[in-house]
Amino acid sequence: MSDLKISAETRTEFGKGAARRLRREGKIPAVLYGHGSDPIHVALPGHASTMALKHANALLEITTGSETLLGIPRQIQRDPLRGDIEHVDLLIVKKGEKVSVEIPLTHTGSPAPGTLVVTVVTTIKLEVEATHIPEEVEVSLDGLEAGTSIHASDITLPKGATLADEGDLLLVNLTEAPSAADMEGDAEETAAEAAPAAEATEAG
C-alpha cells in the first residue's frame, strides 16, 4: 500500500471542549505515539483523513511543520450514531521495521457443488514490513469438498509476511449444504413447535 500524505497541525489545547471545537472546524483530533517518544498531539484534516482511513491498516505520511512521520491507525473512535471519526490513535512506524496487523481475509474460487462455506474468522494477524502492509489475504476455496477445514497454517502468506496467529486457528469450515427436503422438514418442524404456543395464547 502506498503512503497516504496528510498535512496536520500540532495541537496545544486538550480536553473535550477543545476536541469539539476542532470537529466543528472539520478536523479530527489525533495522537501519534511510539519509538519511545512523547505522544504528539495533532489535528488532522477531516475529509482527507476520513477517506484515507477507509483503507484497512492505512499507512499515513503525516507532515507537521518541518517534521514528517509515518503512522498506522491503532484505534479509531467513531460517533455511535453518525459514524463520524472523533479521534485517532496512530502508531509511529519506520521503513524497514515489522509491525503486527490484522489483515482481512478474502475467499477466492468456488468449492465443490453442494458445499456450504462457513466463515469462522474474517481477519488474520500477520507480522509485516510497515511500508508493505497487504490490503487482504486470499483464501482459496476452489474445488474443496464438504468436510474440509482451512486453518491459518494452510494459507499462502504475502511475500515477507509471517503468521502472528496460531497455526491451528480455524478460518473456514466447509459442510454439506442442506437439501430442499431438509429445509422443508426444518420449516415444518418449526411450525409444529410454534403451534402449541399459539393455541395457548388464544386460550389465555
Q: What is the pLDDT of residues 128-178, one digit of tens each?
A: 999 889 989 999 999 999 999 999 999 999 999 999 999 999 999 999 987
The amino acid that residue 3 corresponds to is D
Q: Which segments of the chain belong to CATH 2.170.120.20?
A: 100-180
Distance separating alpha carbons of residues 44 and 30, to the nearest angstrom = 7
Mean pLDDT to the nearest integer, 112-125: 95
Domain 100-180 part of CATH 2.170.120.20: yes
* Residue 65 CB neighbour total at 10 angstroms: 9
Q: For residue 125, give Cα distances in angstroms to 62, 72, 148, 201.
A: 25, 15, 22, 51
Q: Which segments of the chain belong to CATH 2.40.240.10?
A: 4-94
Domain 4-94 part of CATH 3.50.50.60: no
Distance separating alpha carbons of residues 71 and 6, to the nearest angstrom = 11
CA 52 to chain centre: 14
Q: For residue 200, give Cα distances in angstroms to 39, 170, 193, 195, 197.
A: 64, 44, 12, 9, 5
Provide the pLDDT confidence category of residue 4 given band limits of 50, 70 and 90.
confident
